[in-house]
């Protein structure tokens, strides 16, 4: 069988099936943003790893090494945020092709460490190899959480409200502007620069994740592949459906007003990946607590028992929400080489 027949998530499910005998020491295994390992009754380790590959996740024609380092840290920190954890240490493994200079590696680590330090995370180790063709960055992030506070993808229940932090679609729009080679960076509007920065230097929502884990969120995931896709993961793990109100999806002023994009703002917000916002659910009884915390989050819908993802427009008519996020093997929309 070809891998494209399974797709990325079918392939992961297949790997997961072989781990069904999960150990008691691993309360969270494959299928969440990070794994959890019980070290002692008092200490739970969170661990996650994410790879960035040249030509798939980034293009060196418009990604500087500082930003690449920053983003490599940020995408992994975001998975710790999505569990409600505190990041502690990172390991970085690099596969470096010919032609990359020492200065570029220095810049990569300057960016990586700037992001890691901003979230009080240390670089504790890694690995360095040559690579025949493309630059490969693999980061492992370790963090901790109280076991009872860990927020999983699987805790959503019908009736819970659905929220997302920040705004969606900015990163995908920023990527398109970067690819649009007609304009140099200098000629770009302030709005366009903001969208590009959101793509190159995402901000992991560590603080919000911790607050949400303190008895507010019932389920949580970070938006890395796109709202429709990541909402699908959360609902699948929870065994629920969701109704999303189209006109509630938070869209930034910059995304609404920027010129030179092919799609609508709404399109980027629904299907664009790499915003690294937190998508979470809150039981009605905890809504007051959420309102009392300083978290920039917007209510975008509700968890249902239907098992289906639906998008409701302003008139209340519903359509099924296709899961059009990124899949490495399905031949669909790709993050780094969509042309």
Select 161 or 335, whichever has its Cβ closest to ligand ADP.
335
Select 52 or 192, whichever has its Cβ closest to ligand ADP.
52
The verdict on 314 binding ligand ADP (CB under 6 A) reads no
String of contacts with ligand ADP for each residue 191-230, x by CB under 6 A: ---------------------------------x------
String of contacts with Mg ion for each residue 70-109, x by CB under 5 A: ---------x------------------------------
The verdict on 32 binding Mg ion (CB under 5 A) reads no
Which residue in 15, 42, 314, 320 binds ligand ADP (CB under 6 A)? 15
Using alpha carbons, list the distances in angstroms from residue 220 to 68, 114, 297. 26, 26, 13
Stretch that binds ligand ADP, among 28-36, 116-124, 137-145, 242-250 (CB under 6 A): 28-36
Tokens at 116, concatenated: 């890691």
Query: In what helix (H) or strand (E) does residue 102 lie, and over which residues does it extend?
Result: helix 102-118
Give the shortest CB-267-to-ligand ADP separation in angstroms.
21
Contact 6, 329 (CB under 8 A): yes
Cβ partners under 8 Å of residue 23, min gap 6: none
Stretch that binds ligand ADP, among 30-38, 92-100, 120-128, 306-314 (CB under 6 A): 30-38
Contact 282, 155 (CB under 8 A): no
Which residue in 32, 33, 243, 275 binds Mg ion (CB under 5 A)? 33
Could you tell me the sign of the dihedral formed by the alpha carbons of 204, 23, 127, 124, in that order? Answer: positive
Burial class (CB in 10 A: 0-12, 13-18, 19+), 103: exposed
Tokens at 284, concatenated: 């009605």
Give the shortest CB-224-to-ligand ADP separation in angstroms.
4
> Side-chain half-sphere of 98: how many Cα atoms within 13 Å?
2
Residues forming the site for ligand ADP (CB under 6 A) = 12, 15, 30-33, 50, 79, 224
């Amino acid at each position: 069988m070809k891998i494209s027949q399974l797709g990325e998530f079918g392939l992961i499910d297949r790997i997961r099936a072989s781990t069904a005998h999960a150990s008691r020491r691993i309360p969270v295994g494959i299928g969440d943003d990070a794994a959890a390992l019980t070290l002692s009754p008092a200490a739970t380790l969170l661990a996650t790893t994410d790879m960035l590959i040249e030509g798939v996740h980034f293009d060196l024609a418009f990604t500087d090494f500082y930003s690449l380092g920053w983003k490599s840290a940020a995408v992994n920190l975001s998975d710790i945020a999505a569990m409600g954890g505190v990041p502690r240490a990172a390991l970085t493994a690099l596969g470096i092709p010919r032609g990359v200079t020492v200065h570029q590696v220095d810049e990569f680590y300057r960016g990586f460490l700037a992001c890691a330090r901003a979230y009080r995370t240390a670089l504790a180790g890694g690995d360095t190899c040559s690579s025949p063709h493309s630059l490969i960055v693999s980061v492992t992030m370790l963090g901790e959480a109280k076991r009872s506070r860990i927020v999983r993808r699987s805790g959503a229940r019908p009736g819970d409200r659905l929220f997302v932090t920040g705004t969606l679609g900015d990163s995908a729009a920023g990527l398109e502007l970067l690819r649009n080679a007609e304009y140099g960076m200098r000629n770009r509007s302030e709005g366009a620069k903001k969208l590009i920065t959101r793509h190159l230097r995402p901000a992991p929502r560590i603080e919000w994740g911790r607050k949400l884990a303190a008895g507010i969120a019932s389920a949580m995931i970070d938006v890395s592949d796109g709202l429709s896709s990541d909402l699908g993961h959360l609902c699948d793990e929870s065994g629920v459906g969701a109704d999303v109100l189209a006109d509630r999806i938070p869209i930034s002023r910059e995304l609404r007003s920027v010129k030179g994009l092919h799609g609508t703002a709404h399109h980027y917000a629904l299907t664009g990946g790499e915003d690294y916002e937190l998508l979470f659910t809150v039981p009605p009884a905890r809504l007051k607590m959420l309102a009392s915390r300083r978290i920039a989050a917007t209510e975008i819908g509700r968890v249902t028992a239907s098992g289906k993802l639906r998008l409701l427009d302003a008139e209340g008519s519903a359509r099924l929400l296709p899961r059009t996020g990124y899949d490495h093997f399905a031949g669909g929309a790709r993050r780094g080489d969509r042309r």
